[in-house]
Structure 1
Amino acid sequence: MVRLVFYRAKEGGWQGFRAHGHTNYAQHGEDIVCAAISVLTQTAILGLTRVIGIDCLVRVDENEGLLLCILPAGLTGEQWEQAQLVLNVLHVGVLATEEGYGTHVNVKEVPYRENKSAIIRLKKGWRKHEKRQRLCRAAFRCKKS
């Protein structure tokens, strides 16, 4: 099952989202539910980064089926409004997907008070994860040569 978590911002909108897991609806390459979630989340990130020009915290781990996107602090009012539009469209899209394929998709909202520390933990966790990956790659290269 793929789990999507939407984090509320202090201002009441969305601070970002996290998608984790695999839908297991069908075999790899034939999974329409996975394709739907992938298209929705990746299009949202493209809209935020390329169309609006926001430098989001984006992390991807294909092996884990993990995608994280967090809005940075200090957005202009216009950027914030545009980002909320994109994230609301994503939220509605994944809720509709959950409605049709609820055994394969789970969507959760985390209120601001709970997510403030959750986002900090996610950022710290990603730094540790990236450090481990770099050390692993370095060790593998050393053993190989």
Structure 2
Amino acid sequence: MIHVTIFQNAKGEHLGFDAEGHAGYVEEGDDIVCAAASVLMINTLNALELFAKAKLSQSSGEDDGRLSVRLKQDPNRETELLFKTMVLGLTAMEDDGNYAEYIDLTFKEVQQP
């Protein structure tokens, strides 16, 4: 299962996320659930850097399917839009009866750095 934790401040603004695990929907390399979740998160990371010029810390591990992304700045309109778009896609996957058992989405309030 893919576990994704979305970090938000007290105002509900997005500060980053942690993802870990593999979906296990089908054999590795053919897993559409893992591919879809990965594309949503990696595209968000790339868009945060390229379009929002966000200052980020990030780490990843292919073996355990780990991706960790944190804003190193205050959230702004652009970062919020990109994070909300990612959350929209991940939530749709979690709510879909065909894929719900392969992805878990959690929201956690944290202090801003």
Which residue in 2 is equivalent to 1:40?
40
Q: Which has the larger radius of gyration?
A: 1
TM-score, length-scaled by structure 2: 0.91
Higher strand share: 2
TM-score between the two structures when normalised by the length of structure 1 = 0.72
Tell me the distance in 2 between the aligned counterparts of 1:41 and 1:12: 19
Flag structure 2 segments of 5+ consecutive residues without an equivalent: none
TM-fit CA distance, 1:9: 1.8
1:89 paired to 2:85: yes
Is 2:99 the counterpart of 1:106?
no
Aligned amino acid, residue 71 of structure 2: L
- Quote how far apart the aligned CAs of 1:5 are: 0.5
Q: Report the 3-state secondary structure (helix = DSSP H, G, I; strand = E; otherwise coil) of the residue aligned with 1:103.
A: helix
Structure 1's consecutive aligned runs of 4 or more residues displaced over 4 angstroms after TM superposition are none
Deviation per CA, 1:112-142: give whole Å up to 9, x if none. xxx33xx88xxxxxxxxxxxxxxxxxxxxxx
Q: Give the whole-Å Cα distance in 2 for the aligned partners of 1:72 and 1:10.
A: 17
Task: Output the CA distance in 1 between the equivalents of 2:11 and 2:77.
Answer: 11
Q: Distance in 2 between matches of 1:9 and 1:44?
A: 19
Separation in structure 1 between the aligned mates of residue 9 and residue 65 of structure 2, nearest angstrom: 24
Instruction: Kindly indicate which of the two structures has a greater share of residues assigned to helix.
Output: 1
Partner of 1:29, secondary structure, is coil
1:124-135 residue pairs with structure 2 within 5 A? Answer: none
Higher RCO (CA < 8 A, seq sep 6+): 2
1:12 deviates by 2.6
The one-letter code matched in structure 2 to 1:94 is L
Please report how far the alpha carbon of residue 64 of structure 1 lies from its aligned counterpart in structure 2 after TM superposition.
Answer: 1.5
Can you list the C-alpha shifts for 1:31-54, whole angstroms capped at 9, x where unaligned?
Answer: 000000010000000110111111
Give the fraction of aligned pairs with identical amino acids, expressed as a percent: 25
Query: Counterpart in 1 of 2:50?
Result: 50
The equivalences for 1:9-24 within 5 A come to 9-24=9-24
